Amino acid sequence: MNVKKDFPIFEAHPELIYLDSGATSLKPQPVIDAIVEYYSTYSANIHRGLYKISEKASAEYEETRSVVARFINAPSPDEVIFTHGTTESINLVASTLGPERVTEGDEIVTTVMEHHANFVPWQQLAFNTGADFKVIDINDHFELSVVEKSDRRGEGHQLVIDLKRVITNKTKILAITLVSNTLGTINPVKEIIAEAKKINPRIITVVDAAQAAPHNVIDVQDLECDFLAFSGHKMLGPTGVGVLWGRKQLLDSMPPYQFGGDMINEVSLEKTTYAKTPHKFEAGTPHIAGVIGLKAAITYLQQIGLDKIRNHEKELTMYAGRWLNDELSDAITFYGPRHIEFMAGIITFTMKGIHPHDIAQILDEQHIAVRAGHHCAMPLHTQLDIPASTRASFYLYNSEEDVEKLVEGLKKVKKTFS
Amino acid sequence: MSIYADLILDHYQHPRNNTLLTPGVSKSVDVNNPLCGDKLHMEIIEKDGVMQEIGFTGEGCAISIASASMLSEYAKGKSKAELLDLNAQDVVGLLGIDLTPNRMKCALLGWEALIKLLNN
């Protein structure tokens, strides 16, 4: 895959080995161009101006809604809400639908591998309503403990999902990530949702797709989830823009999230009536340039093809796994599934006697950018019994040479502390 | 230039005063940096306004452990007033390297413990 030329950051830093796309992705020229074009040629507000550049801004903004809807196979663009990112998308659901649906004695279920963005809002909702907060654990294969695979060698594996001890008819919400940002585990969310709905057809399912949307084809109708959230900046788009998709019927029944301009139908001294979904949830001037940039990002990803990107990442991840095992197996402990079909392009590890921050710093001295810390997944690190870890994550602009540099870099880390 | 100078690595791999003091005689404190998972336990014995003994245990990155180790060496025999007079720059100065803002927190964890003990 020869796309590095599309990413101007590599002109500014030709030496950069960027292995932190799990935190945020780099931006290709078409995304930067789309943002610059908006600001330089039609930077008007949307939905209100009766003049040409405002009409163009509104059209581009609303066109992005359709592009996003097709990207996740949503039945209607009206089900697509623009937010600041995954965190706000999930908070929107937790704070509007949450208190209406959840009361004392109910249950909210999530997993120990969630990013704090899909953990803390639900913990807080449980705390505020008196609901029971239940957390699905992981097993020795770094997969969810409710998932059993009869054939771990891959081809033709049978999935068995056992939620009977976790989901009951009191469970109002199941919040689950498609891909763990730390372990890289790809969860069988479709099967888990189907099983959860068998036990309790009224359960609301909220899917965190922040780590999945940049790499995997997402189909909300196939998943049969109720809500799905992701961020623009992890998928080549701008920071500060994200998406919440929700079923129309649910969105219509929910109260607004924030109040003010743009989300109203009519305001009088006595009362206010609200705009329809999705505008009901988009109070104030949104991140117009960000939304337009997101459209450019999705278009770019689709031109290359998500399948091709995923295959490229699989190859890099396997290549990295092999190299690290050959060169450093005595020094490194890995935290993630072993089978590539259940693994995203994420390699998380610790090194004996060396703190992750020191690993990251020595790699940085060699211009290699990785993430070190708890990756906003403290409950998971507590469960793994490690204070922090180091994570290398791959995307379409990475190459085998990047993997080789990483291995060389880690050998230097080992040598420094020997 | 690498911040992993020989002196830093030496203090990380062989921290000075890496010991617990006599219980009952010493004062102790625990500090941590949840962002990196660094944890330090520090104990001091102070007499007539002078630092008699200092010890610490803990886990953390090379910078936090080396800094606590160097600070403990520096602090022994110094007066309380002198130690309370130290500022962040002085503490980083002990390490003899330049640090980015992100690593300052690591370097200052031992100092945070010492100040807490002295003010207690």
Which residues from A are below 8 Å from B5, CB to CB? none
Q: Which two tokens stand for residue A267?
A: 């305001």
CA distance A339 to A345: 12
Same domain membership, residue A288 and residue A163: yes
Q: Who among B9, B36, B62 is closest to A373 (CB)?
A: B36
Say whether B38 and A387 touch across the interface (CB within 8 A). yes
ipTM: 0.88
The arrangement of strands across the sheet holding A171-177 comes to A80-83, A242-246, A227-231, A204-208, A171-177, A107-111, A132-136
pLDDT of residue A1: 84
Domain assignment of residue A6, yes or no: no
Say whether B63 and A378 touch across the interface (CB within 8 A). no
* Closest-CA distance of chain A to residue B90, Å: 22
CA distance B109 to B26: 20
* Closest-CA distance of chain B to residue A118, Å: 19
CA distance A343 to A135: 22
pLDDT of residue B1: 61
Domain assignment of residue A16, yes or no: no
Same domain membership, residue A332 and residue A362: yes
Domain assignment of residue A18, yes or no: no
Say whether B59 and A387 touch across the interface (CB within 8 A). yes
Same domain membership, residue A185 and residue A53: yes
Same domain membership, residue A348 and residue A205: no
Question: pTM to 2 decimals?
Answer: 0.94
Say whether A361 and B103 touch across the interface (CB within 8 A). yes
Q: Is the peptide bond before A30 cis (omega within 30 degrees of 0)?
A: no
From the candidates A340, A376, A378, A386, which is the catalytic residue?
A: A376
Q: Which of B3, B61, B65 to probe the A interface (max A CBs under 10 A)? A: B61
Which residues from A are below 8 Å from B106, CB to CB? 357
| Domain total of chain A | 2
B interface residues, A as partner, C-beta within 8 Å: 2-4, 9, 13, 34-39, 59-63, 103, 106
Q: Who among B4, B37, B103 is closest to A416 (CB)?
A: B4
Q: Which of A358, A362, A381 to probe the B interface (max B CBs under 10 A)? A: A358
Say whether B61 and A365 touch across the interface (CB within 8 A). no
Judged against a pLDDT cut of 90, whether residue B23 lies above it is answered with: no
Same domain membership, residue A311 and residue A164: no
pLDDT of residue A153: 56
Same domain membership, residue A335 and residue A210: no
Say whether A358 and B59 touch across the interface (CB within 8 A). no
Q: Half-sphere exposure of residue A394, counting CA atoms within 13 Å on the CB side?
A: 28
Query: What H or E segment, with its residue span, contains residue A128?
Result: helix A120-129
Say whether A357 and B103 touch across the interface (CB within 8 A). yes
Range of the domain at A324: 305-416
Same domain membership, residue A385 and residue A262: no
B30, B62, B91, B118 alpha-carbon torsion, rounded to 10°: 20
Say whether B59 and A361 touch across the interface (CB within 8 A). no
* Closest-CA distance of chain A to residue B47, Å: 36
> Which of these three, A302, A334, A361, is where a domain ends?
A302
Domain assignment of residue A71, yes or no: yes
CA nearest A204: which of A87, A110, A65? A110
Same domain membership, residue A358 and residue A224: no
* Closest-CA distance of chain B to residue A417, Å: 7
CATH topology of domain B6-119: Sufe protein. Chain: A (3.90.1010)
Q: Which two tokens stand for residue B77?
A: 């025999």
Same domain membership, residue A249 and residue A132: yes
Say whether A358 and B61 touch across the interface (CB within 8 A). yes
Query: What H or E segment, with its residue span, contains residue A204?
Result: strand A204-208
Domain extent listing, chain B: 6-119
- Classified as helix, coil or strand, B114 is helix
The 10s digit of each residue's pLDDT in B84-93 is 999 999 999 9
The 10s digit of each residue's pLDDT in A1-59 is 899 999 999 999 999 999 999 999 999 999 999 999 999 999 999 987 789 999 999 99
CA distance B32 to B38: 5
CB–CB of A373/A391 below 8 Å? no
> Which of these three, A263, A280, A302, is where a domain ends?
A302
CA distance A310 to A319: 14
> Which of these three, A246, A281, A302, is where a domain ends?
A302
Same domain membership, residue A95 and residue A108: yes
CB atoms within 10 A of CB A365: 15
The pLDDT mean for chain B works out to 92
* Distances B58 to A26, A157, B19 between C-alpha atoms, Å: 37, 45, 10
pLDDT of residue A151: 63
Query: What H or E segment, with its residue span, contains residue B54?
Result: strand B50-59
Q: Which two tokens stand for residue A19?
A: 């292995």
Strand spans (E) along A319-388: 332-334, 346-351, 368-369, 371-373
Q: How many CB pairs under 8 A join A and B?
A: 44
CATH of residue A231: 3.40.640.10
Q: Who among A355, A374, A416 is closest to B61 (CB)?
A: A355
Same domain membership, residue A201 and residue A77: yes
CA distance A361 to A352: 16
CA distance A134 to A172: 11
Domain assignment of residue A1, yes or no: no
* Closest-CA distance of chain A to residue B112, Å: 20
Q: Do the strands A204-208 and A171-177 form a parallel or antiparallel pair, or are they unpaired?
A: parallel
Active site residue A225: no
Q: Low-confidence residues of chain A, pLDDT below 70?
A: 151-157
Same domain membership, residue A198 and residue A344: no
Instruction: Give the chain A residue nearest B65 (alpha carbons).
Output: A355
CA distance A221 to A233: 24
pLDDT of residue A176: 98
- Classified as helix, coil or strand, A269 is coil
> Cβ neighbours of residue B87 under 8 Å, at least 6 residues apart?
none
